[in-house]
Structure 1
């Protein structure tokens, strides 16, 4: 009974989590009032918003194929960890007062939804505590998924051969899966919001960040859950030294972490953004932006700082050139002799005909002889 209760609590917590996260990430009108819409909070949500519903679906499929399997408890513990990590991150954004200027009944409603998600994890934690140990089984999750598909009457002979080939190269399988998911998200964003004035660079950026983020998640998940096991009859391959494996994993995981904390890193390095630069690069799952945050969205945002007008910029450049030219003339006059006094009167606009520093104006009028 405790086992069934743990699975039910897991599904309820995952459902509440998915509803809240989808509302606050995929709908512009709701996301605008979300306290956790920016990094680094959004980076954690990007890692868990796909993991929790996908893992809950996999748990349901595996419970149908192998009911009563103790391996299901391992998946429920991962769901609990992801929900708890996301809840702590979102509460941190509320505690520091992120987007407090938008505090109103809409944001308070989102905070109430966060409280519901947080409370939904409490029964799951208690049920898992009394459910007992969770042992690893002899089959992986891919095999159980293919068994479920076969129960529906769909031929899976070719899929079994593909899975057997992927079991021999699990790292390649993880990279292919991460690339497919990241490419799909980038394509959906390109169709929906667009990728800005440089779509190729933007798409490549999202795919690279998405692949590194998913690889950083899939490697420990496969080690704990056994998503894709070794091929049958395969010998133990020559493993790389632990230092090399840790360095490779750290290099992949450092990409999304660096993007999540880019503002703090830039502050430590005394880095200033260029006016109109993209302020939200790397948001979303695997570097994919939410609706309304496409590449160059900050340039289209009416609340963002506008770019300088080209005509005004050219006028400022001309004025700066005149000031520099005037200083040069004064310097030459000091070296050759006393410079002619400037007849400008304070508080009165200078006459273009009497401006000796204006290169394009008429020559200075000759002084009237004294009578």
Structure 2
């Protein structure tokens, strides 16, 4: 029993990706060997309440029902200081210890989970955690700053304009000229959201205002990005062990045949018009170039633990679209699929991430 690892699995959260995170929790929990791990299940409601959940409940979560956490009245508390790893829960009978936690595993997507906020809370109380640190999480969450950092590191990204509602209200003609200077088509995206929530493809400037409204519903800052014609490729990254170089998987490809882009319905509801291919057909030299750029991008943001790096491949150039510091992690998501094709099973991947989290030096 002394060798068992106590993991606090955090999921749900306040963002628009709440249900995806809950569904991911079911997959991750199912991959964790109960003989090796004791798991404390912390479901964060849309209002931000940290609640204690049961194993049976979480194992029942899946993408078919897009689960939503109710508030069951319990309240989980992080360790009170860096002097102890003990977590407690407040419930009807009073306070109850959940034991000393070895590592937190936040499988949270979007703001208030993937953006450095909960990572900062863990660091305040000295709780080791899986995944990227505060800075890398914040950078990876914000598409504008990700692009700025990558561009500064000499990595090619698509041209873009970042705008606020205030910018458009004060100087509408100036910002319209800047946006239209990108040419058509463009993608309009919230700066800090994921899973293609709030994203539109605009092929006619008459549709721009509606696309901006949709994106501003998710965030106060919006990117308008020049569309890149090319294959959509992704690869998965893990930190190296003991200070080693990042490890990069084979590539996966999103082959779009009947949709404008890889939207929410295609990602999570199995909508037609998209085929996921892994490994993607690439020449050996092309794959090596892509993997090298992915590793450079990961290091450029100060990555730790894991990331998925998304590309457009024009046939000659690899253009980085974005870095996802807590990628989709259901058993059928591209991140674990790329590692499976590279020889790492889903349970082995979960084990490795926990090991990296425990060993991380923040």
Q: If the TM-score is normalised by the length of the shorter chain, which range does it land in?
A: under 0.3
Larger Rg belongs to: 1
Structure showing the higher helix proportion among its residues: 1
Per the normalisation by structure 1, the TM-score is 0.26
Per the normalisation by structure 2, the TM-score is 0.27
